[in-house]
Amino acid sequence: MLRILLALILSSFGILHPASAAPARPNVIFFLVDDLRWNALGCMGDKIVKSPNIDRLAARGVLFENMFVTTSICWSSRATMFTGQWMRRHGVGLNDGKEMHVGAWAQTYPAQFRAAGFRTGFIGKFGVGGNKQMKEMETAFDYWKGLPGQGGKLFIEPDDPKHQHKTALFGDQALEFLDGCKTGQPFCLSISFNAVHARDHEPREYTPDTRDDGMFDGINIPLPKLATEEAFKRLPEFVQKSEGRTRWLWRFDEPQKAQGILHDYYSLIYGVDREIGRIVEALEKKGVADNTVLVFASDNGYALADRGLADKWFAYEEDMRVPLIIVDPRLPESRRGVREKAMALNVDIAPTLLDLAGLPVPSVMQGRSLKPVLAGQKPADWRTEFFYEHHAVPNRIPPVEAVRTERWKYIRWIKAEPVVEELYDLQSDPLEEKNVVADSANAALLKEMREKWERYRQEKE
Ligand SMILES: [Ca+2]
């Protein structure tokens, strides 16, 4: 109460908002982690992982327990986050297309922020498009430290005398960006860590920062419940022979090898957490933390040997589910540390960032702003289902589409002949162990789910 009174007195003297009565536009930072599994965070229930700074974001903000990606692969999901569009609209990952449609960039959130006068920055793995796209990006931000592909073949460059890990480098760049910001101009910074994505084909795929190497020594990190031979045997044969199994053989076919992978993966998460902590501290020191919105997410889910598979791509929960935390310091105390059940999607990121900054959302965006949900005012027509699609690298990853409702999931392997379908009751079977598609009791439901799938395929173009 005292603070409110003081604020009233100060503002009546024109001290808080000397120029106008309009509220200052907030700054925005979007932290994106690569291939971070939905529950590999302390705030998501993992007792072994160390993520104190990310957990603090959850304690200060809103954690979305039902956040999903509409396509579980880096480049498509990132394009979705930039554009607020499903893959079949932005085209990245569709028919193996890698470039965004010509002119599409102008309708992305970073372009919109820049056009509105925000200082914009991009750091880390850009991950969308090839050389042409990267060239265009060099002048698309005020501060550009984007990297093509996976953001480097290795996490620690062999010729770097400092042996600096990429994660720490991105943290340094974020602090440099913040140092370059001037009072009076709001900013929008996107930091896309290339951790905790594997360095595919490297002898040590998840090399941690040397400071974190060995931090889980002597600790047994349990594999997910579904990391069983039985779960693998239930998969369609073409999934058993897919890239997911190839990578399982790289990482999880021996218990000791699996522990090494998990130790490194968890150490990489800690490295990301450390940089987020440094950036939040810098915001506080600069006195802008109270006017900076923080968004934290992962670009796709991640199988750590679930169903005898590794990596992402498919329409199972471990593939499509990701963490999402939003901290808006302007929200009241009652909206801090909230665990929100509303269904959120990667298509919502762009409209949400824009809306939180008070900017208009381009009509070409298909996601919805989470702003009312954040404020505890979920609209009555908020989604209760969504459409999933994955078409990339079809020779090694069977193309799949799905419809997930709050209770049911319908999976359709679209290139299988004859077509293969799966149906799961997530209420009684949250791990998707019992495919009930052939159960005659579900005939009407199956018909309804097929119709939804058909409809979404048209609607999301
Ligand atoms: Ca990824």
Q: What is the DSSP string of 34-96?
A: SS--TT-SGGGT-SSS--HHHHHHHHHSEEETTEE-SS-SHHHHHHHHHH---HHHH-TTGGG
Average pLDDT over residues 41-66: 98
pLDDT in tens, 396-437: 999 999 999 999 999 999 999 999 999 999 999 999 999 999
Rounded to 5°, angle at Cα 178 from 175 and 181: 155
Query: Which tokens go with 151?
Result: 């953001």
Are 325 and 62 in contact by the 8 Å Cβ rule? The answer is yes
Predicted pLDDT of residue 99: 83
Q: Which position has the token pair 């002597």?
A: 218
CA of 197 to the centre of ligand 1 (A): 6
CA of 310 to the centre of ligand 1 (A): 13
CA of 389 to the centre of ligand 1 (A): 15
Can the peptide bond before residue 196 be classed as cis, meaning omega within 30 degrees of 0? yes
Predicted pLDDT of residue 23: 62
pLDDT in tens, 283-296: 999 999 999 999 99
CA of 81 to the centre of ligand 1 (A): 12
CA of 24 to the centre of ligand 1 (A): 34
Q: Is the pLDDT of residue 19 over 80?
A: no
CA of 416 to the centre of ligand 1 (A): 25
Question: Cα 37 vs. chain centroid, distance in angstroms?
Answer: 9
CA of 196 to the centre of ligand 1 (A): 8
- Rounded distance between C-alpha atoms, residue 340 and residue 376, angstroms: 9
Angle, helix 349-356 to helix 74-83, in steps of 10 degrees: 30
Predicted pLDDT of residue 181: 97
CA of 5 to the centre of ligand 1 (A): 48
Give the 3-state secondary structure of 398-423: CCEEEEEECCEEEEEECCCCCCEEEE
Predicted pLDDT of residue 9: 47
- Report the predicted TM-score, pTM, of the whole model to 2 decimal places: 0.94
Predicted pLDDT of residue 95: 79
Question: Confidence band (pLDDT; 50, 70, 90) for 96?
Answer: confident
CA of 447 to the centre of ligand 1 (A): 33
**% the chain with pLDDT above 90:** 91
CA of 353 to the centre of ligand 1 (A): 20
Domain edges within the chain: 22-375, 399-461
pLDDT in tens, 193-209: 999 999 999 999 999 99
Torsion angle defined by CA atoms of residues 69, 70, 76 and 77, in that order, rounded to the nearest 10 degrees: -20
CA of 1 to the centre of ligand 1 (A): 46
Q: Which position has the token pair 């929200």?
A: 331
CA of 150 to the centre of ligand 1 (A): 9
Q: Is the pLDDT of residue 74 over 90?
A: yes
Residue 281: how many CB atoms within 10 A of its CB? 13
- Rounded distance between C-alpha atoms, residue 325 and residue 268, angstroms: 19
CA of 352 to the centre of ligand 1 (A): 21
Predicted pLDDT of residue 150: 94
Q: Is the pLDDT of residue 147 over 70?
A: yes
Predicted pLDDT of residue 22: 54
Closest CA to 189 of 203, 204, 207, 176: 176
Query: Which tokens go with 254?
Result: 């021996």
Rg of the chain over all Cα atoms, to the nearest angstrom = 22
Q: Which CATH superfamily is domain 22-375 in?
A: Alkaline Phosphatase, subunit A (3.40.720.10)
Q: Which one is predicted more confidently, 437 or 130?
A: 437
pLDDT in tens, 260-280: 999 999 999 999 999 999 999
CA of 93 to the centre of ligand 1 (A): 13
CA of 285 to the centre of ligand 1 (A): 32
Angle, helix 52-60 to helix 255-285, in steps of 10 degrees: 50
CA of 59 to the centre of ligand 1 (A): 25
Class of domain 399-461: alpha beta
**% the chain with pLDDT above 70:** 95
Predicted pLDDT of residue 18: 41
CA of 346 to the centre of ligand 1 (A): 12
For 20-34, 150-164, 332-346, 373-387, which range has the lowest pLDDT when averaged over its residues? Answer: 20-34
Q: Which one is predicted more confidently, 12 or 254?
A: 254
Q: Is the pLDDT of residue 182 over 60?
A: yes
Average pLDDT over residues 12-27: 57
Are 31 and 297 in contact by the 8 Å Cβ rule? The answer is yes
Predicted pLDDT of residue 228: 98
Average pLDDT over residues 126-136: 91
CA of 20 to the centre of ligand 1 (A): 43
Q: Is the pLDDT of residue 90 over 90?
A: yes
Q: Is the pLDDT of residue 8 over 50?
A: no
CA of 73 to the centre of ligand 1 (A): 6
3-state secondary structure of 208: coil
Question: Confidence band (pLDDT; 50, 70, 90) for 11?
Answer: very low
